[in-house]
Amino acid sequence: MILTVTLNAALDITYRVPHLRAAASHRVTDVSERPGGKGLNVARVLASLGHCAVVTGFVGGRTGEKLRELLAADATVEPPMDPSADSVREASAREAAAFEASTGRALSSVPPQRHPGDATGTVPPGASHPRYGRLIDALTPIEGTTRRTVGVVDAASGDTTQLNEPGPAIGRAEWDTFLHTYTALLGDATAVALCGSLPPGVPVGSYARLVRDAQAAGVPVLLDTSGEPLRRGIAARPDLVKPNTDELAGLTGSTEPIRAALDARRRGARAVVASLGSDGMFAATADGSWQAAPPRRFAGNPTGAGDSAVAGLLSGLVEGLSWPDRLARAVALSAATVRTPVAGEFDPATYEDLLSQVEVLDRSDVPV
């Protein structure tokens, strides 16, 4: 299974309006709610690709209860598409079988978790285990209330205005409970993604610790955060970091993304995949450098596109794909996510159509 960590989860609320105007009243034409936070978005895309995903982090209050209800609903739906390649199907089936065998063991040492509609307790063994392409909730309950993020989509332009609430404060006992959960789940993880911002009360160097814990367990780890947590986390030498151009500039001081990606790798990351927005991605790795771009630009909602790219990179890693194939998948998923109204989803037809059209260029001329 693939483990995703979301320390600052959110309930994502998306409003659609005909035309967004400042200082004006608007009639909302559509409202949607989804479990949010980068790691939860990554997990939902992984499940849609046919992988088994476990989500952990913090959740609390009425907003958290709603998030878990929606996550449970996601976990009961089979993947909306079948992986196109036989090798992907076979890898997913093997992973699912191993997941079935190991989930009970991993969760047996996880502290009690509160699930929607259930009494307090661990996930029961046997038939209730997630199957092929599903999610499992291993979130840590807290006293505080999970934050909300509000996206307002302007239907006329396709642009989205995002409003992000601060997260709840995390107590020391809650942090210790999460660490227990995280360590237990690492034992059966094939890869782990550490995603998003840190809530108040969590030490700024926490991602560095989580990176080291994953490495000690022999689990490849991807870090997707920004600011000081990224600066400290990258020094722990994660297997992969996936910053965007703004995050790279904040880390390195360089506004030239390829130069900044190379600098980020020298700071400790074993590989860096830089998101270049509509221009695709650049990867600097020990095996070489590549740049990938979609065949055309797509209008829509970019929220969650980077999270889908993370899912593409992680799934490619677990399946043993080459770096060019991982990049092609990540770029195709990212573009297909722009075509959907909410984060954590992608348009399957767009993804399948784009996958063979993504151009991946060998940038071996760029020194790594």
The H or E element that residue 325 is part of is helix 323-338
Residue with tokens 């209860």: 65
Q: Is 74 exposed, middle or buried (0-12, 13-18, 19+ CB in 10 A)?
A: buried
Contact assessment for residue 350 and residue 356, using Cβ atoms and an 8 Å cutoff: no
12 catalytic per annotation = no
Question: What is the SS3 assignment for 14?
Answer: strand
SS3 content of the chain, % helix, strand, coil (to 5): 40, 20, 40
Closest C-alpha to 57, from 190, 169, 172, 195: 195
Nearest CA-CA partner of 88 in 313, 310, 315, 292: 315
Q: Taking the alpha carbons of 266, 269, 272, 275 in that order, is the dihedral positive or negative?
A: negative
Q: Which of 307, 353, 362, 365 is catalytic?
A: 307
As beta bridge partners, residue 58 has: 140
Question: What DSSP string runs through 82-108?
Answer: --SSHHHHHHHHHHHHHHHHHHHHHHH
Enumerate helices (H) and strands (E) in the chain, giving the number of each. 11, 15
For 320, the token pair is 């043993």
Distance CA 139, CA 81 (A): 27
User: Which residues have a catalytic role annotated?
Assistant: 307
